[in-house]
């Protein structure tokens, strides 16, 4: 696991005390020498009190404007619903406070591009929580591919099927399974192979009796390096079928969250354990945001990089709408 080192200790604020916030708080709590959990904001006062008391957060706010005016944050973690993010991010940009934002950055590529323009306008860095780069074994595969041992990627197959029952705001949105999860996989593929897709084709099953157009999807991606990716993902599967493999010219990978097995042409397997759990994988990217500020560089999953993931995401929904292959360079 990467070693952490910062020039000073940073005060961190969090907006949103809902389901995803403990993942961030657990990661922050592990590194008190680097960060102080300084403030929490949520419009739901009961939820705000409960989470603040659970994690001993000293400053509590029900208003983002008041949080910005009264606290002394060095950076903020944004855990709000995706359709609310642009307005809130803009407030932090105006206050020149760096932002670490949950994924997806926005509900559409156009909205994400507008946020990227605001980041440039205000010269404030923005990192997106694409934590599956390390929570899943993509980072191990990236390193092995860079070393050249497995050869050229040819075909990646992934099934991620399970029974998920969300409540609240997610069920009111038209975009669902690819907004919640598939965008993680799209980002992980391009990160691991260091290649961008040329085209995408998507078919989906709509949510029964709901507004969401995709509770289950099958997506095919053709990458510039020649690799073909096939992703099947469902939130409405009773089978729980899961698995991910990458076939290469000189072997391949069997991948999951906890490890990667590299398979040689003779069938011999070499196992690489993944040291990152979800809180640590999440903290790593937040740490990288702080480190990028000190080193005056773009963060790893910064907004410019994330627009490429958002373009895959948007292209998949356009393919679903048009029922045809969509080339990423055509719009």
Give the separation between CA 228 and CA 270, rounded to whole angstroms: 24
Residue with the two structure tokens 């709408």? 321
**How much is the pLDDT for 301?**
98
pLDDT tens for the chain, residues 1 to 331 = 678 999 999 999 999 999 999 999 999 999 999 999 999 999 999 999 999 999 999 999 999 999 999 999 999 999 999 999 999 999 999 999 999 999 999 999 999 999 999 999 999 999 999 999 999 999 999 999 999 999 999 999 999 999 998 888 888 899 999 999 999 999 999 999 999 999 999 999 998 877 899 999 999 999 999 999 999 999 999 999 999 999 999 999 999 999 999 999 999 999 999 999 999 999 999 999 999 999 999 999 999 999 999 999 999 999 999 999 999 988 7
Cβ proximity of 111 and 175 under 8 Å: no
pTM of the complete model: 0.96
Cβ proximity of 105 and 118 under 8 Å: no
């Amino acid at each position: 696991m990467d070693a952490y080192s910062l020039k000073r200790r940073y005060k961190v604020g969090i907006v949103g005390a809902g389901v995803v916030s403990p993942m961030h708080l657990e990661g922050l709590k592990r590194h008190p020498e680097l960060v102080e959990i300084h403030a929490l904001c949520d419009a739901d006062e009961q939820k705000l009190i409960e989470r603040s008391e659970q994690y001993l957060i000293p400053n509590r706010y029900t208003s983002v404007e008041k949080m910005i005016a009264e606290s002394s944050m060095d950076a903020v973690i944004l855990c709000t619903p995706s359709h609310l993010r642009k307005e809130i991010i803009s407030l932090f940009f105006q206050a020149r406070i760096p932002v670490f934002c949950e994924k997806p950055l926005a509900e559409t590529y156009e909205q994400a591009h507008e946020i990227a323009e605001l980041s440039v306008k205000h010269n404030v860095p923005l990192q997106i929580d694409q934590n599956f780069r390390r929570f899943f074994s993509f980072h191990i595969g990236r390193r092995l591919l860079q070393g050249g041992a497995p050869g050229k990627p040819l075909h990646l197959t992934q099934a991620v099927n399970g029974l998920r029952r969300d409540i609240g705001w997610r069920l009111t949105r038209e975009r669902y399974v690819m907004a919640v999860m598939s965008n993680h996989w799209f980002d992980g593929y391009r990160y691991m192979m260091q290649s961008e897709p040329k085209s995408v084709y998507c078919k989906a099953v709509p949510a029964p009796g709901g507004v969401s157009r995709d509770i289950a999807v099958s997506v095919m991606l053709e990458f510039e390096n020649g690799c073909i990716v096939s992703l099947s993902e469902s939130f409405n599967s009773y089978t729980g079928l899961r698995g991910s493999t990458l076939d290469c010219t000189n072997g391949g990978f069997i991948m999951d969250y906890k490890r990667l097995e590299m398979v040689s042409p003779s069938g011999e397997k070499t196992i690489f354990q993944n040291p990152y759990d979800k809180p640590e994988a999440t903290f790593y990217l937040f740490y990288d945001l702080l480190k990028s500020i000190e080193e005056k560089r773009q963060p790893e999953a910064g907004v410019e990089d994330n627009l490429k993931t958002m373009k895959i995401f948007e292209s998949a929904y356009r393919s679903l709408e048009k029922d045809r292959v969509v080339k990423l360079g055509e719009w």
